[in-house]
Amino acid sequence: MELLAYFFIDPMYFVYVGPAMLLGLIAQGMVKSAYARAGKIKASSGLSGAEAAQRILNAFSISDVAIEPASGFLGDHYDPKKKVLRLSKDVYQGRSLASLGIAAHEVGHAIQDAQDYGPLVIRNGLVPMASLGSQLSVGLVFVGLILSYMQMKFGHPVAVAGLGLFGVVVLFQLVNLPVEFNASSRARTILLEQGMVTPQENKMVGKVLNAAAMTYVAATITAIMTMLYYASLVFGRRD
């Protein structure tokens, strides 16, 4: 019971992960703020997010990707398996700079997919193991620590296995960063080159996408610091 209580209320957890979690909250606030500002500015092109997305797909001769409305706030994403671009209602129907920026970012992923962009290929390959790691890693670390506390020899290997699985989650986050940054870079360039936004409007689009990028940075740092914390439990001396 002593180990159970210590594991759940260990103040060192907040020393490791607390600053990263705070950064994540700040990043989320930045996204909402930037989206709210850009969401009030109608794009001079008059295009909706869905129309802009379709225009970009046509420009890159991508004909096998469908565009569908999705539920939820900022639930926009590209599904490489089903070749579907799902845009939240405000982005799908909206004609603001925020709508165009987010739609173009997601189309950026479709372009990456069509061009076999290396980091995206690696990220997609990591998805199964990363999903498994996010589900089982913490439990394995926890069980392994308990077994070690009970003087069972296989406790430590179990904890190390859990740590290894969590390492895949960290690797996924690291690989995801260039994927997301590249998609945003593509989005801004394409919107400007296709005349969907003016240079001045592109600056506002950039603020939205840069704020969104910070959430991925925060998630990556959080994953790294969480892994370091688990490593301190698995390999450190806990008296």
DSSP 133-163: HHHHHHHHHHHHHHHHHTT-TTHHHHHHHHH
Which positions are catalytic? 106
The single-letter DSSP state of residue 84 is: E
Cβ partners under 8 Å of residue 173, min gap 6: 216, 219, 220, 223, 224
Q: How far, in Å, are 15, 48, 182 from residue 126 at the CA level?
A: 29, 33, 18
Tokens of 233: 């439990």
- Distances 50 to 69, 130, 165 between C-alpha atoms, Å: 9, 31, 38
* Token pair recorded at residue 82: 């089903």
Token pair belonging to 155: 């406790």
Contact 10, 236 (CB under 8 A): no
d(CA 167, CA 157): 15
